[in-house]
Structure 1
């Protein structure tokens, strides 16, 4: 076909031809990917049909004496199934799955997978090695934990805690304090199994931390519900940095710090007064009732509200005594706040009763 001397017509022809070829290539690529996906799904289905009954038998204590050969094409699908089952098991059932994995040589395979480029393989390997408690994988997992990829690094850190909680606490606690870009929920989930060693590490670190890092360390202790030494918390309560004081007040849970908390009820920062009222509600004594009543007249609404909640939750104040206390208040705002909190308690109690009756029915 000749276009003569018309360059525009020639350009249009070749542009259309190129677009058609690209469309055909794109269509072929989509077909290829679809065929590949279907083949992968069939392999996965075959793997599950072959291995799920054996793993379920092992879970209930009926491990087969002889295992079939695990094909290379089945390994990733098998590991996915194994990790899925393992994540919902504890005790002897999990140990039985570990035995199956080791009999198939998957502990060695998982260690090799840690060094591969495929992200999915490294994630699965870290999860498997964590469940296996494989101490040989410790150095490789440490390297993986140092990567910038948050999912890979946090999974590796979880595996380290599973393998050796004590050693992991000594390594991870300073790291988690420094890396404030990691969500606290993830940090708490990883360190949950190492609560006792983490508490010991935190107690040793607190006196050396500056005001910038101390609040995060205290938030880690709060998330894990670990008890820190009263002396360490007393120093934090006396800090001039408001974030440090707030973080310390949230985890105060010992009468040994009553005096320090009482001194913060008149703090210039209203957020500190809020947390001090809540803390005194947890650790206070009968004489502190008057201090909490005084906070009902605070200029900040949240301080009055938390003080009223603390009063309503004091174990030695019965409902009749709370009613008498509310009636004796001269400050209308204080009386209204205490009445509001008591009404909230009544509504919550009514809802609990309704839920209990619904469950019984």
Structure 2
């Protein structure tokens, strides 16, 4: 009888505790939903208040600005950054003047130092748009942290603040950090393409063969010319991967002798890129080299050689017909016909 009573008591208390916990959880969910609705209403109110004023600034007016209330700060910064993302020139600078009048630069630096992760991301974005030089020393440490999103946003902001200084500091970082997608790297460095090219030209001779391909791919993504002297070591490397990466970045004629030598390379992927490079920088006399590649055992080599012949400067359609008439290899003839047909489409 006593054991049965104890069991019932335990069951009653367990049920009571479970009910109380369920009610508390339900209450917390309600509180969270109420708080979310309240934040949404505040955000909507802030946007409704500030959007017309920011639009006035965008079209060149000088709006009378009220004080930026504490509860409006995050919605305002989101709205301001969103508008900045689609603006250039005078309109963007007008928004910057509004932000500085409201003390947004100081607010963003404070958020960058002490805010939560999402606030720091927003602050870095805002400071980049503002080109805030005072934030440079705060942004630099963020460039090396493991959080890719935060570090890349900080890097983007640094480039906006000072392209030349950022190129000197960031280019070696971008070469080192394989976890940063090349598309993101190119997008960030686009505004500093000229200074980055100078840094890469200094950096390439010092890099190991493991780092060279990424550095060369960065130059290719930015479409910046590298001097032949900087590319020479990579073009003469024993590593086909390095040579291929270097050939993809050749867009200036001062590397032409190295490119001509590589037309006969034992690796077919090198021959492919050598043919493409000759199509970009080759001279009329290189038609003979490309014609010889039309008989290469590899299909891709033949295809790129035919394309390069079509693109070769100073080589007319009549010259191409003359090349075609000289061909005796059936595969070479078929490939040139295919590429010429593609051009006619």
**TM over 0.5: same fold?**
yes
2:164 pairs with one of 166, 176, 182 = 166
CA distance in structure 2 between the aligned counterparts of 1:145 and 1:232, rounded to whole angstroms = 27
Indicate the residue corresponding to 1:122 in structure 2.
120
Q: Unmatched 5+ residue regions in structure 2?
A: none
Partner of 1:147: helix, strand, or coil? coil
Contact 2:202 2:230 in 1 (8 A): no
Mean Cα deviation higher: 252-261 or 54-63: 252-261
Contact 1:195 1:226 in 2 (8 A): yes
> Closer, same or farther in 2 for the Cα pair 1:295/1:108, shift >3 Å?
same
2:279 pairs with one of 258, 278, 281 = 281
Indicate the residue corresponding to 1:184 in structure 2.
182
* Residue deviations 1:57-105 (CA, integer Å, cap 9, x gap): 01111112x3111110000000111111111111111111111111111
The yes-or-no answer on 1:35 pairing with 2:34 is yes
Alignment of 1:136-285 (within 5 A): 136-285=134-283
Contact 2:284 2:313 in 1 (8 A): no
Return the offset for 1:323: 4.3
Indicate the residue corresponding to 1:46 in structure 2.
45
Return the offset for 1:32: 2.1
The yes-or-no answer on 1:24 pairing with 2:23 is yes
> Closer, same or farther in 2 for the Cα pair 1:5/1:56, shift >3 Å?
same
CA distance in structure 1 between the aligned counterparts of 2:202 and 2:225, rounded to whole angstroms = 13
CA distance in structure 2 between the aligned counterparts of 1:11 and 1:71, rounded to whole angstroms = 54
Contact 1:221 1:227 in 2 (8 A): yes
Partner of 2:167: helix, strand, or coil? helix
Partner of 2:114: helix, strand, or coil? coil
Return the offset for 1:287: 1.5
Length-normalised TM-score, structure 2: 0.93
Return the offset for 1:338: 1.7
CA distance in structure 1 between the aligned counterparts of 2:13 and 2:284, rounded to whole angstroms = 91
Partner of 1:195: helix, strand, or coil? helix
RMSD: 2.1
Alignment of 1:4-83 (within 5 A): 5=4, 17-64=16-63, 66-83=64-81
Mean Cα deviation higher: 28-37 or 115-124: 28-37
CA distance in structure 1 between the aligned counterparts of 2:112 and 2:282, rounded to whole angstroms = 52
Mean Cα deviation higher: 123-132 or 15-24: 15-24
Length-normalised TM-score, structure 1: 0.89
Indicate the residue corresponding to 1:336 in structure 2.
334
Return the offset for 1:46: 0.5
> Closer, same or farther in 2 for the Cα pair 1:255/1:144, shift >3 Å?
closer
Contact 1:144 1:152 in 2 (8 A): yes
> Closer, same or farther in 2 for the Cα pair 1:60/1:4, shift >3 Å?
same
Contact 2:278 2:312 in 1 (8 A): no
Contact 1:3 1:9 in 2 (8 A): no
CA distance in structure 1 between the aligned counterparts of 2:2 and 2:319, rounded to whole angstroms = 102
